[in-house]
Amino acid sequence: MNNTTNGVMKNGTENLCRILENAKLNPENAKRDDYISWEEYFMAVTIATSHRSKDPATQVGCVLVNEDNHVVGAGYNGFPNGISDDEYPWGKQSENPLETKYTYVVHAEMNAIMNATARQLKNCRLYTTRFPCNECAKLIIQARIGEIIYLDDKEEQWQSQAARKMFDTARIPTRKYQKTGRKIVIEL
């Protein structure tokens, strides 16, 4: 390269920098400042995902997010693939466990892990509308998920207590999502 080319490039870069600086001063070129945070976004996606559940009593959503803030998995509570949700029970109480949903439903966290597009979930963040149960905790720990952010917790249930104990032992941090009070209206 000759000096003329370098001079043109240097002057061109300086001009571009000057143009960009001047553009920043114009309020019409400013970005909006009321956008939602990543945390709000991922919990909103988690809540929206929960609305896919056909469970009449409990709708749970879960989203897996990698270190680049990409959603790599999503799931909600429902019956396994190929199991008709019209033929199996959605009830919660019966003398016969074969007549309740608990025998058949796949939890949101399990579905998110199984539906994940990434092979490695290590260090992903798991957003969920409900604190994971002990069975989901086992799968979360095995997948080496790095953090759990939850909306609601059933602390009095032994399943949540067992899950919390396992997460503590596995050194997987859990934290309750701090609501911001912001609202997102989606008209479908």
Q: In Å, how far are 57, 95, 108, 143, 147 from 99, measured between CA atoms?
A: 15, 8, 21, 31, 35
Where do the structural domains in the chain lie, given as residue ranges? 1-30, 38-176
99 included as an active-site residue: no
Return the number of other C-beta atoms located less than 10 Å from residue 144's C-beta: 13
pLDDT score for 135 = 97
SS3 61: strand
Could you please state the CATH topology (level 3) that the domain comprising 38-176 is classified under.
Answer: Cytidine Deaminase; domain 2 (3.40.140)
> Per-residue b/e over 164-183, b at no fewer than 16 CB within 10 Å?
bebbeeeebebeebeeeeee
By the 8 A CB rule, do 116 and 102 touch?
no
Q: Tens digits of per-residue pLDDT, 6-18?
A: 555 567 777 777 7
Yes or no: say if 134 and 159 are a contact pair by the CB < 8 Å rule: yes
- Catalytic pick among 14, 21, 95, 109: 109
Buried b (16+ CB within 10 A) or exposed e, 104-138: bbbbbbbbbbeebeeeebeebbbbbbbbbbbebbb
Q: What is the pLDDT of residue 13?
A: 76
pLDDT, residue 51, reads: 97
174-176 vs 147-152, strand pairing mode:
parallel
For the chain, list residues with pLDDT below 50.
Answer: 1
